[in-house]
Amino acid sequence: MRLSILLVEDNPADADLLMDSLTQDDGSSVWQVRHVERLSEALQALEQQPVDVVLLDLSLPDSQGLGSITRLQAVVPHLPIVMLTGRDDTQIAVQAVAQGAQDYLVKGQITTSLLTRALRYAIERTQNLKQLQASEHRFRAVFDQTFQFMVLLSTEGLVLEVNQALANVEGDRLQTLLHQSIWETVRWGYREVAQQWMKNAVAAAAQGQTVRDEIESCNPQGEVRWLDFSLKPLRNAANQVVLLIGESHDISDRKLIEAKTLETLEQERELTQLKADFVAMASHEFRTPLTIIRMAAELLEKYDDQLIAAKRTQHFERIHSAIDSMLRLLDEVLLLGKADSGGLHYEPFSFDLADYCQEVVETLQLTTNSNHRIIFDCSHKQIQGEMDQALIHHILTNLLSNAIKYSPDRSSVWLKLSCQPNQISFQVKDEGIGIPPQDQQHLFETFYRAKNVGKIQGTGLGLSIVKKCVELHQGQIHVESEVGIGTTFNVTLPRFLQQTRLEHSSLHESAQIDLINVQAGSN
Ligand code: ADP
């Protein structure tokens, strides 16, 4: 099939010459040429019948220069056009090529082979361009339709293009993203660690590596979100890296689930550890008093008539003391279990704290088997407060018993009660063995005991109970301690119920436990 040409030329001599160049010696031609003299006629002809290529004179009676190309392309996009120019017009012809004409020929220098080649190349190039555009269109559709965020970077990390999914998310921020180094965009520049990660990723990808990681970036709402981000190098035919393709998707929800699962696993691990600790502790703590009871009971049974009264009393005392120690342990375990299952309730009522503390100190002084002096220090005769007396009892008896247990015989232990309009403070102080700094942060963990307890008996449960009671009051507990000098526990609690309730609603965190390591010399 012959290829069709539309020749737009107003100069009859030039037109004849061109027609001649397209005709072979025997008068035949591979071209089917249609000749018009004006642009308006050319437009009309194109509307009626498409052609394969247009030979267009640069200056026509009804159109001059580059405007002719624009008007022709408006009627037939992707129309192959070869410009015909005079010797002086080559500069405009070059512009015409830049604007979409396929080629130009200078009148007076046109040979048959030059013309034929220019026309064939023009047709071929236009077809290639069309195919390229169709292919680009298909790939653009994939690039834009994917749910993944995609970004094209230069090998230096400049953002060249982003796909629709990312553009939608970026919104107004999009303009600040393009043509910037990707690590300088707000998405990555918000935090140094993310910025550095991106710089390294670009450098590695530019060297031909594929980089993939889970990393946090900042979205336009200022939220930090987790992305599964990969950066891949794109190579040209010479195997050189010419572009980098960044691909990512938001995995924040998955991360959240992972974190929760890990938390649950950690809780389960802690629970298993707790059970193991409990079994170890219980077998030890119960075995010792049970052995004492068995031995005392055997002695009493076998040698009852031979024992003097004092010895018998001693054995009975041992049995009583062993039973007391087991009961105490059971009480502590039960209380903690109750607290953990939410069964330990906060039931405040109004009472005089000065009076109550005095009573606790006197009872402890009478019941403790030691020779410690417990000094109650309170500058008020009466301090009214609305608190849970049972919980206060656990706090005071545990702290005071510890102060006694961990300080030398005949030393003093202080309980200081002070108050402010909305707050009550208890301070329990001793001059005992103290607590090593590295142990202080773990004291309130169940079963935890400091390394310096030696042979002093204990379960590691008392302070866990104290902490829970303080938390139920929305209070705080601090410890100051120095090995060999002594320990002070400070507890502050809201004084009135109304206030506690307010704090219950405003505080999401449980009681804060600040541990202060006292430097040597200060107390
Ligand atoms: P325990 O039954 O072992 O005394 P607690 O939970 O009451 O358990 O205390 C935890 C640990 O804290 C103790 O084992 C001890 O190491 C340390 N401790 C608590 N109070 C004092 C104190 N007043 N002086 C020194 N160490 C203390």
CATH number at residue 184: 3.30.450.20
Give 359 or 370, the one with higher predicted confidence: 359
Question: pLDDT by residue (tens digit) across 409-461?
Answer: 999 999 999 999 999 999 999 999 999 999 999 999 988 999 999 989 888 89
Per-residue pLDDT, averaged over 100-126, amounts to 91
Ligand 1 pocket: which of 443, 477, 481 to mutate (most atoms within 8 A of CB): 443
Residue 516 within any structural domain of the chain: no
Residue to probe by mutation, ligand 1, list 274, 402, 414, most atoms within 8 Å of CB: 402
Tell whether 353 and 289 lie within a shared domain.
Answer: no
Q: Pick the residue with more confidence: 157 or 270?
A: 157
Query: For 68-72, 275-279, 493-497, which range has the lowest pLDDT when averaged over its residues?
Result: 275-279
Half-sphere CA count of 300, side-chain side, radius 13 A: 17
Is the pLDDT reported for residue 515 higher than 60? no
Q: Is the CB of 487 under 6 A from ligand 1?
A: yes
Note whether residue 509 is domain-resident: no
Relative to the CA of 434, which ligand 1 atom is closest? 25
Domains of the chain: total:
4
Is residue 523 pLDDT above 60, yes or no?
no
**Residue 158 shares a structural domain with residue 129:** no
Token readout for 160 is 């060249």
Q: Could you tell me the CATH number of the domain that includes residue 88?
A: 3.40.50.2300
Which residue's CA is the closest to the ligand 1 atom numbered 20? Answer: 402
Predicted pLDDT of residue 166: 92
Count of beta carbons in the 10 Å neighbourhood of residue 286: 15
Residue 397: predicted pLDDT: 95
Confidence bin at 463 (pLDDT 50/70/90)? very high
Residues 235 and 169 in one domain: yes
Same domain? For 289 and 213 the reply is no
pLDDT at position 522: 33
C-alpha 449 to ligand 1 mean position (Å): 6
479, part of any domain: yes
280 lies in a domain?
yes
Asked whether residue 155 falls in the same domain as residue 139, the answer is no
Let me know whether 26 and 102 are in one domain: yes
Residue 378: HSE in the Cβ half-sphere, 13 Å Cα cutoff: 22
Residue 107 above 80 pLDDT? yes
Which mutation among 404, 406, 428 tests ligand 1's pocket best, with the greatest number of atoms within 8 A of CB? 406
> Can you give the pLDDT at residue 483?
97
| pLDDT score of 501 more than 60 | no
| CATH number of residue 364's parent domain | 3.30.565.10
**Does some domain include residue 240?**
yes
Counting from 1 in the atom list of ligand 1, the atom nearest the Cα of 453 is 16
CA dist 47 and 125 (Å) reads: 22
Residue 440 Cβ inside 6 Å of ligand 1? The answer reads: no
114 in a domain, yes or no? yes
CB of 435 shorter than 6 A to ligand 1? yes
pLDDT digits (tens, 9 = 90+) for 244-274: 999 999 999 999 999 999 999 998 888 888 7
Tens digits of residue pLDDT in 45-70: 999 999 999 999 988 999 988 889 99
The mean per-residue pLDDT over the stretch 76-90 comes to 86
Please report the pLDDT score of residue 283 as a whole number: 77
Q: Is 289 in the pocket of ligand 1 (CB under 6 A)?
A: no
Same domain, 458 and 369: yes
Measured by CA distance, the residue closest to atom 19 of ligand 1 is 402
What spacing in Å lies between the alpha carbon of 455 and ligand 1's midpoint? 12
Q: Count of CB atoms within 10 A of residue 46's CB?
A: 19
**Residue 399, domain member (yes or no):** yes
Same domain, 275 and 361: no
pLDDT of residue 511: 37
Instruction: Give the H/E segment covering residue 356.
Output: helix 353-367
Summary mean pLDDT of the chain: 88
Q: Give the model's confidence band at 284: pLDDT under 50 very low, under 70 low, under 90 confident, else very high.
A: confident
Q: What is the pLDDT of residue 506?
A: 42
Any ligand 1 atom below 6 A from CB of 401 = no
Q: Which of 144, 169, 201 is the last residue of a domain?
A: 144
The residue nearest atom 8 of ligand 1, judged by CA position, is 460
Atom of ligand 1 minimally distant from the CA of 433: 25
What pLDDT is stored for residue 413 in this prediction? 97
61 CB-near residues (< 8 Å, 6+ apart): 10, 37, 38
Q: Measured from the CB, is residue 419 less than 6 Å from ligand 1?
A: no
Domain boundary among 301, 317, 340: 340
Distance 450 CA to ligand 1 centre (A): 7
Would you state the structure tokens that stand for residue 233, as one six-digit string?
């190098």
Q: Which domain covers residue 367, as residue numbers? A: 349-504
* Token digits of residue 383: 């301090």
Distance 456 CA to ligand 1 centre (A): 10
Share of the chain above pLDDT 90, in %: 62
450 lines ligand 1 (CB under 6 A): yes
Q: Is the distance from the beta carbon of residue 486 to the nearest atom of ligand 1 less than 6 Å?
A: no
What's the whole-number mean pLDDT along residues 471-483?
96
My answer on whether 127 and 164 are in the same domain is: no
Asked if the structure places residue 510 within a domain, the reply is no
Nearest to 377 by CA among 340, 412, 343, 402: 412
Q: Are residue 360 and residue 476 in the same domain, yes or no?
A: yes
Q: With 70 as the cut, is the pLDDT of residue 484 above it?
A: yes
Q: What was the pLDDT predicted at 304? A: 80
Range of 269-278, 342-351, 357-366 with top mean pLDDT: 357-366
Question: Which residue's entry shows tokens 């500069």?
Answer: 91
What pLDDT is recorded for position 439?
A: 96
If you measure from the C-alpha of residue 397 to the centroid of ligand 1, how many angstroms do you get, rounded to a whole number? Answer: 13
User: Ligand 1 within 6 A of 479 CB?
Assistant: no
The verdict on 493 and 382 lying in the same domain is yes
d(Cα 497, Cα 28) in Å, to the nearest integer? 111
Q: What is the pTM of this model?
A: 0.51
Q: Please tell me the distance from the alpha carbon of residue 462 to that of residue 443, in angstroms, as a whole number.
A: 10
pLDDT (0 to 100) of residue 498: 58
For residue 489, give the ligand 1 atom closest to its CA.
23
Q: For residue 281, how far is the Cα from the chain centroid?
A: 40
- The pLDDT of 146-168, averaged and rounded, is 93
pLDDT at residue 497 greater than cutoff 80: no
Nearest to 328 by CA among 459, 477, 512: 459
Q: What is the pLDDT of residues 165-213, one digit of tens each?
A: 999 988 888 888 889 999 999 899 999 999 999 999 999 999 999 999 9
- For residues 122 and 205, membership in a common domain is answered with no
Cβ atoms of 55 and 21 within 8 Å: the answer is no
The Å distance, Cα 474 to ligand 1 centre, comes to 22
Which tokens belong to 32?
């089917």
